[in-house]
Structure 1
C-alpha cells in the first residue's frame, strides 16, 4: 500500500513540475490511463499528504511546553517498562 501511495505522490509531483502524462507513464513504467486517473482524482478531491502534514503541524503547535516536559520526564519510566516486558505489552 505504501508503494502505491508513493507512486501517486510521484505522479502528482511530476505533473506539478510540468511533465506530460505520457512522459510520467513512460518514466514510471505504468499506463497513461493510470496516470490520468491519479491526476483526475487529485484534482477532484485535492487529496494528498500535504493536507495531513498541515494538520499534524497544527496539532504539534498546540502542544504546550508543560505537556512536552511531562512527556520527556516520563520517557525513562516508559523505556524501563518496555525493557521489563521484553518488548511486549505494557501499560
Structure 2
C-alpha cells in the first residue's frame, strides 16, 4: 500500500498544479513532527561527530536534487515496485499477501 501511495504522488503533484519544489518542501515540513517524536525515543551519548553530520547533509542535498527532477520521471520510477509485485503475482504464481 505504501508503494502505491508513493508511486502515485507524482500524479497528485501534477493535479495540484504546484511546483515540485513546493511539494517537496511541504512533504518534508509535514514529516518533521513525526521525525522529532522518533528522535526523542533514541538515546545519545553526546554530540554527533562531524562525519555523520556531513554524510546526512550530503544525503539531504542529493534527496532534494532528486526531487527536483521532473514529476513524470518520478511517477514512472516509483511505479516500479508496484509493477514488480503485480508481475510476481501473475507470472510466478506468488501470493501478494505473502510478499
TM-score relative to the length of structure 2: 0.33
More relative contact order in 1 or in 2 (CA 8 Å, sep 6+)?
A: 2
Q: Which has the larger radius of gyration?
A: 1
Q: TM-score, normalised by structure 1?
A: 0.35
